[in-house]
Structure 1
Amino acid sequence: MCSMQILLVISLVVQLTYSWDIAVSVGDRIDFHNADGTKTDTVYFESQNITALVYDEVHNMLLYVDKQSDRDNICGYNMTSVEYKCYLDRSGGNVRSLAFDPVSEKLFFTDTKERSINWFSFKPGFKNNDYGNLFIKFKGAIPTDIAVDSCRGYIYWINTNLTRSTIERARFRGSEREIVVTSTYQLDLHSLAIDQKSQKLFFFMPLSNSLVTFYSADLNGRNLKSLHTFTYQGETLLFNHPNTIAVSKNAVISMVAWCLPCLPRYVWTLSPSTTIPFTINTQKVVGIATNYKMSDQVQGISDCSHVTRNYNIDESLKVAKEYESSFCVHGIKVRGQSLCECYTGYTGVRCEESFCNNYCLEGACSFTEEGLPVCRCGVGFTGYRCEVNVCYDYCLNNGSCSLNEEDEPSCECLEGYEGGRCEETINKAGALTYN
């Protein structure tokens, strides 16, 4: 298991100023934009699939999901120290959504494969579990999108895999669980954001397979209001369901949708004064985060004044020593460098790629002393990669092949043929001919 892990990255930006309002993940990079859509910076990663994003203002860090073929890593890019580090290795998991609470310095996240909500503390000296700390484990429901209300101490999430999809909330300690919104249709709610200032929830509710409505509601689920309905036809662009939203400083809701006929995804914004979205990015966007400081969200709200007093900005991110190991999945860190020395049979920047990955098609893979992959084939298969079925083309003249008790191919011949491979033809006179 990994704790804090250091990534090797490539940045095409020499001097990063980070004057930004919106950050979006686009495959192997994160783009930074102003509210008007102007791109201000770009940072490239070795990862090819950055998904969910959330901004941690306490440490001036973008937290993100680095999705690999067999694991999801939860990582962070510190914009002050320009460091890239990973904190959790969710092997076999599927991390869907992130939410950060600056007061407790906790990152909450959902894992749809594990059907759980989990958390990770960034407080120095706190001993997290290697896989993250469990908040709630679900039996039937699957939690997807997640958001936090730091002012009032609630965590909100969307439940799917139910007859009616719901939005549920609970206190940070797991108490006072209650459903605040229930879908009126047998389609899953999706995407969730909270604005502390307006004290509103924002989410999408599909009305049919071709309609989806953008809603707001009070934090207790009351005063449900439709803000805009998107259709697959009739808009300037045809697009599928938006898949993530975030609230920005000027109360503009940013979301991601994708164009059906042209494939690229788009970032749109909806302001209180208009219900017409406009694009600010035409790349293949997956995740989105906004630079919306907690102090701006709670300004002028008397019952939230305690929030800004209970946390301090710490851009150094001084994490306990137990999290200072390198991010080498199958290897060890080279002393004094952000590089990995891989164990036999592994490669990649973080030793995350096994030479055995997809090598043996029908068998078990192991390594030779030289670190090369070698296969031990399963019953009925042969070849260097166990790619050959022993029955393939074994029985001639349309005979049927199966494995005998010794796991060797055996033929059942059609009428008029016999022989170990049905290679002998029986003529009417009883004489044999050979193919």
Structure 2
Amino acid sequence: MFLSDTRNKNVSIYSNDLTVKNFKPKSLLKTDNITYIVGMVFDPISRTLFWTDAKVQTIMKMHIPLNGDLGEPEKLHDLKYSIPGGIALDICNRFLYWTNSNRTNPTIERSLVDGSNRTVVISRNLYEPMDIAVDHETGKLYWADDVEGISFHIERSNSDGTERELLVNNRHQRPTYLTVDHDRIYWSDTVSRTIWMIKKDKKSVETFEKFKSYESRVDADPAGIITRDNIDQINCQAISALQKNTARKITQETVARSYNNLTTSTEEMDSTTERSEGSCLNNSTYNPLSRSCICKSGFNGSLCETSVCYNYCLHGTLCTINKLGVAQCECGSSYSGSRCEKDLCDGYCLNDGVCTIENGAPSCKCKNTRGPRCENTNDFYEICTLFCKSNPPALKNYDTSLCNCTRSNQTDTIISQEYKMERNLLLPILGTLIGVLIILVITLSIYVNKLRRRPRIKKRFVVSKTGVTPLTSRPQMASDQCEITIENCCNMNICETPCFEPKLRSAPTKSVNTKKEEKNSLLDSMEGDSC
């Protein structure tokens, strides 16, 4: 398996030997700052590796022998004013296909593997073709086109660009890489970080489903995708015979529909479908009596062209055939089941935990949770509150990337500490003030109570008939005097002791003689009533 790494500072292309369990990557091409490898394909016949370089706008090739030194990288095509993307190889017909993603002039082109006979296969109704794949079994081309806006297309055609078909027309995806197998199409989507698949049957259009999702993994982005045959290399003779047989059947069906009123047409067709000794594949035996192929153990089909291991083991696991001709799968450490259909990590980790295989068993890396399966949840708000403090504690095994610490949150601890200090200072001060006020109130209450107990002084006016009233001493009570207590005055109302009208209430227009006459009349009335 050959891989490219655009972020590696030392190696751009390296290989892994999948037949070895503990393999080590083998460096094939050192990193060059002017290199950006987009797609790769390997030709097992000439043992040549081809790749597209989007930065220098070329298609390069390099010979990789089984033993010995590697060949030097060579330029196959100079794609100036183009943006080379996906690349695919038709092994049987020796054609190399690639996409040009330049939106001003998008194309799908091909040439022979030696660089000759370069032609444009498709140039109309394209926007940004991302990747291309060759289906050797049907002789079809499949490609993904990132259409303008939010839409995308999955299309196919014959190897020469004829009989073009639209298989998928949908939205909200960016299919970056694409591949096919016996009955399905697979593509990687960089928007949803998911591997999608759909059947190649035209009747199942738009019914695609998820093959593998990386939405819950922050450290994963699906990119290149390939399928492989677990048993043998591509058998071009068998594929050619199968294609001819399929084409013959289509022709016969067309003839039968055109001449369905003629009984001789079906007899002629039956004679053309007879098997011959050279048409049986995979070392099978031709039976002249039944005019059919007798398949060896592990193969089936009318021409013995299909292995029982074909697409039997899932997830790229190794398939072997036992003595009884039954397919068996070697699942490895990540999958289980008779066909390796069960992912050990599927549904194992809870609460968005990331599952990995360690020592043949699933293990979880938890985010904001605890437990072997991340089953013990924690309060995310409490975790972010601790994280946003000015002096946060060590929060191991917690994902704090989603915590949004504002300025107020970061100073919350300092503010609370300052508030505690102010509260500790204010409480004694307020207590002291309250105590002083209580003492002051008690003192004032005692003082007012003492003032109430003092004797009250009553002011009295002593009126004499003679008109002379001592000013410095209180005269002795005599029969010709009348004492008036001011407090008992009824303010000129009817009472036991009449009152004098104050001077302020006297009319200003009255003369002094008038006032004297009023006083005399008042004294005269007092002699008879009060005194």
Q: What's the TM-score, normalizing by structure 2?
A: 0.41
Greater per-residue helix proportion: 2
Which structure is larger by alpha-carbon Rg, 1 or 2? 2
Greater per-residue strand proportion: 1
Q: What's the TM-score, normalizing by structure 1?
A: 0.49
- Higher relative contact order at CA 8 Å, sep ≥6: structure 1 or structure 2? 1
